Amino acid sequence: MAWLIWRQHRTEVCVLGLLVGLFGIALLVLGTQAHDLFPGGPARCAGAAGADEACTASFRRLDEQYGFVENLLAAFYLVPVVIGAFLGAPLLARELEDGTWQLAWTQAVPRMRWLAVKLAALAGVTVALTGIFTAVLTWFRQPFDAWEGRFQYDAFDLEGLVPVAYALFAFGVATAAGAILRRSLPAFGVAFGAFLAARMLVALLARPAYATPLTTTEPISVGGAKDRSVAGFADWTIEHGYADATGRRLSATEYYDLEDAADRAGTNLNQFLHARGIQQFGVYHPADRFWTFQFIEAALFVAVAAVLIGVVVWRVRRRLI
Amino acid sequence: MTATEFALRTDGVGKRYRKGWALRDCTLALPAGGVIALVGPNGAGKTTLLRLVVGLLAPSTGTVEVLGHDVTASTPHTLSRIGFLAQDHPLYKRFTVAEMLRFGRACNLRFDQGLAERRLAKLDIPLDRRAGTLSGGQQAQVALALALAKRPDLLVLDEPVASLDPLARHEFLQVLMGAVAEGGVTVLFSSHVVHELERVCDHLVVLNRGRVTLTGDIDTLLTEHRLLVGPRTATDLDRAGTVVEAVHSDRHTTLLVRDGAIPTAPGWQAQPISLEDLVLAYLRRPSEPGAAVTSEVAAWRG
């Protein structure tokens, strides 16, 4: 069986391995240079942008020289999906397309064993490739994380556990779609579309609700910079705005009315707001929730993948294919 | 007869797809040894029946027993005793012929690599060619060599020659019959062409619109059935339900009867019927599950 799986899927595995290898080497080279901008290591500068002179200079150079890479990487959250879907789509669909399922399942290997070995092998390759890719990417992003935290969309979705979960999700959708549609290419497309939809819903609606966000409120300082974030640099701010002295949140219109009033009175806005007891509030998830959130999101996607694989196993077992 | 002397036994087998029943009330007992032809028009349920026999599908009703074992259990032992050649003889197109053989070796308990290589060498099929680049006839031969190398006790073939040109068809049947002559294997194959079956087959199963309408040993069937030609008559001629078909022309009435050759009434002439005409007559019969069909099927079994 091992030889058969290798022979049938070696093209996909080689192409994906090559891609991951090339990206990995490029990231290692660029990443080494980016890390060298921080003599004491990027972690020492965490949150020190604007405070520590050396760190501020390092961050500025990081942005100038490697900012473009970070922007490119924002699209890399799709790489795990490509890996998973590319390996999952042909698993059953190609056999059904070519009629070779009738060949494969009439040899002496019972179909359930055939399916179990195939699923385990290809899901294993999916995890291994995504794992390597994510490990390199997570390391590459260390200087950027020290600057911006790990809760932004271009960090959270690329680091830690969730990319592997995304890949398994795509693998599950592609395998199930292949079993039902009996075509590889549409199955690949379905996996891609399903991931984009699921990830958007999760990132916008579910992720902020994994835990109850914290709220801080502080009075507006007379001399402070306007719109200074209330939460820490690495925290994930869900919402921030202004509240009156009683703590009631102001609508945008109410705030603009205050701004106009300050303009008309010809006073400094901060002083104007401070005098009226207006406070700033921030709703946020603290940075140390990163791993909790990673676990929850990974579990969510892996659970859906497991259900879809369960459907495939059930269909093959009941001989509905 | 004990169960193992039957290559295949089905009992009340039916298969329902979303669109409806593809096969209903299929009860068969086919002896081991020899060649069994499964005949019927397109869409009669032949492929469904064969897939049920090799365990690719599970029946909606009834049981399928192959070589004395329930085939839905799909044990390696049972699977290794059945060879299957699906319609259009699918192969992994990007595998070389040698890799196809390696596939067979890797996925089977017993696999006679030497036998397969000898067969392919005899047919001048190079082992290093990709399966997808071979001609249709050669692909069929590779698929057959693969199935025969399992040394199966039952070889099931779905429309094996339908897509082949006359020359490839002839060569394929020659190899197949050669394998049968070497002994030990029961062959069950489907065809929508009745022509030439007589030469090749021992046993016949006629399937029409999802139902078995005739089954039996070919020689016996041909002795039991006769054409009776006599003066045109409109009266009910069916003596004890033996008339399979009645055709009336201006002056004559031709009856196909299954009466075991009882003496002919005066004024009537008896003629033997060809296998092709016999099959066609059964295929022309209304296939709705009328009482007559069912009772006759029951009577034939007795």
Q: Do B92 and A111 touch (CB under 8 A)?
A: no
pLDDT of B2 reads 47
* pLDDT higher than threshold 50 for residue B114: yes
- As a whole number, the mean pLDDT across chain B is 86
Out of A29-38, A90-99, B117-126, pick the least confident. A29-38
Q: What is the pLDDT of residues B53-80, one digit of tens each?
A: 999 999 999 999 999 898 888 889 999 9
pLDDT bracket for residue A177 (50, 70, 90) = very high
pLDDT of B243 reads 82
Domain boundaries, chain A: 7-210+290-317, 214-287
HEC profile of chain B: CCHHHEEEEEEEEEEEECCEEEEEEEEEEEECCCEEEEECCCCCCHHHHHHHHCCCCCCCEEEEEECCEEHHHCCHHHHHHEEEECCCCCCCCCCEHHHHHHHHHHCCCCCCHHHHHHHHHHCCCCCCCEHHHCCHHHHHHHHHHHHHHCCCCEEEECCCCCCCCHHHHHHHHHHHHHHHHCCCCEEEEEECCCCCHHHHCCEEEEEECCEEEEEEEHHHHHHHEEEEEEECCCCCCCCCCCEEEEEECCCEEEEEEECCCCCCCCCCEEECCCHHHHHHHHHHCCCCCCHHHHHHHHHHHC
Domains in chain B with CATH codes: 3-209 (3.40.50.300), 223-301 (no CATH)
* pLDDT higher than threshold 50 for residue B292: no
Q: Do A105 and B56 touch (CB under 8 A)?
A: yes
Q: What's this model's pTM, rounded to 2 decimal places?
A: 0.88
Q: Do A106 and B54 touch (CB under 8 A)?
A: yes
Mean pLDDT calculated for residue range A147-172:
91
pLDDT of B262 reads 67
Select the more confidently predicted residue: A67 or A25: A25
* pLDDT higher than threshold 50 for residue A283: yes
Which residue among B79, B88, B95 sits closest to A108, beta carbon to beta carbon? B79
Interface contacts (A, B; CB < 8 Å): 75
Nearest CA-CA distance, residue B48 and chain A, Å: 12
Which residue among B84, B86, B106 sits closest to A3, beta carbon to beta carbon? B106
- As a whole number, the mean pLDDT across chain A is 89
Q: Which of B58-62, B222-226, B297-301 has the highest mean pLDDT?
A: B58-62
Looking at chain A, the whole-number percentage of residues with pLDDT higher than 90 is 55
Q: Do B56 and A110 touch (CB under 8 A)?
A: no
* pLDDT higher than threshold 90 for residue A146: no
- Say if B102 is an interface residue toward chain A (CB within 8 Å): yes
* pLDDT higher than threshold 70 for residue A272: yes
pLDDT bracket for residue B250 (50, 70, 90) = confident
Q: In this predicted complex, what is the ipTM? A: 0.87
CB < 8 Å to A109, chain B: 76, 79, 107
pLDDT of A189 reads 96
Q: Which of A36-45, A291-300, B290-299 has the highest mean pLDDT?
A: A291-300
Q: Do B79 and A4 touch (CB under 8 A)?
A: no
Q: What is the pLDDT of residues A246-270, one digit of tens each?
A: 878 888 888 888 888 888 888 888 8
Mean pLDDT calculated for residue range A16-40:
91
Q: Do B86 and A103 touch (CB under 8 A)?
A: yes
- Say if B107 is an interface residue toward chain A (CB within 8 Å): yes
* pLDDT higher than threshold 80 for residue A206: yes
Nearest CA-CA distance, residue A7 and chain B, Å: 8
